[in-house]
Amino acid sequence: MTMPLALQNLDALVLAGGESSRMGGPKALLPVGNTTLLGATIDRLRPLFRQVLVVTRDRDALMGLDVEVLTDDRPERGPLVGLARGLAASDAPWCFVAGCDMPFLNPAVIGLMAQYLEGYEVVVPSVNGRLQPLHAFYSHECLPLARDLLDSGKKSMHALLDRCHVRTIGSEALMALDPEFLSFRDVDTQEAYRVVQNLAERAR
């Protein structure tokens, strides 16, 4: 097998531009443990990658972060917009992409995924048959494809995956490193937020 690219030469993108309609408001700055959802996500990624870039629609709300904050530059909304913005700002051959509400990202899982970058355009986990496009590696070759989709009015991350050479990592391999699949625990509802808070307290 070809030697995997070192994570320290790659970038991480955190997408924080969602409207969080099911939460009833922005979620990036919700408290969890002694930080926020976004802060916990950044803290998991910072030691692994060359840099962490946060993509948002509201730059002012994230003032004071010790990372580079990018603003969505298109009128459309959605994670595909954030992905395109982040890829355009990075000169790394690959970027790991995560949502802003994933405080339990697992370095071992990310390292496993990085072993399969060679020969693909996307490396994405499949958890119990469900792809996780907001816990995935995207090559810089995805940028023109993402822009083409947005220009044609398509905003789905899955539409991008359909156009890329994708390597999936199945549940069995993931479970060996993350038995509870906490890496993929995100916050879309108040109930999910309460669960994450409890998990964070347990971890402390």
Most confident of 24-33, 34-43, 60-69, 163-172: 163-172
Q: Is the pLDDT reported for residue 2 higher than 50?
A: no
Do 13 and 53 touch, CB atoms closer than 8 A? yes
Distance CA 69, CA 62 (A): 8
Output the six-digit token pair for 41. 């996500």
Highest mean pLDDT among 3-12, 106-115, 188-197: 106-115
Q: How far apart are CA 102 and CA 93, in angstroms?
A: 23
pLDDT of 19 reads 58
* Choice between 110 and 67, residue whose per-residue pLDDT is larger: 110
- What does pTM read for this prediction? 0.92
Residue 61 has pLDDT above 70, yes or no: yes
pLDDT of residue 201: 83
Average pLDDT of the segment spanning 136-164: 96
Q: For residues 156 and 159, give the distance between their C-alpha atoms in angstroms, rounded to a whole number.
A: 5
Range in 31-35, 43-47, 101-105 with the lowest mean pLDDT: 31-35
Query: How far does CA 195 lie from the centroid of its chain?
Result: 20
CB 118 within 8 A of CB 14: no
Over residues 132-151, the mean pLDDT reads 97
pLDDT score, position 3: 43
Please give the mean pLDDT across all residues of the chain. 90
For the segment 76-113, what is each residue's pLDDT rounded down to a tens digit? 778 999 999 999 999 999 999 999 999 999 999 999 99
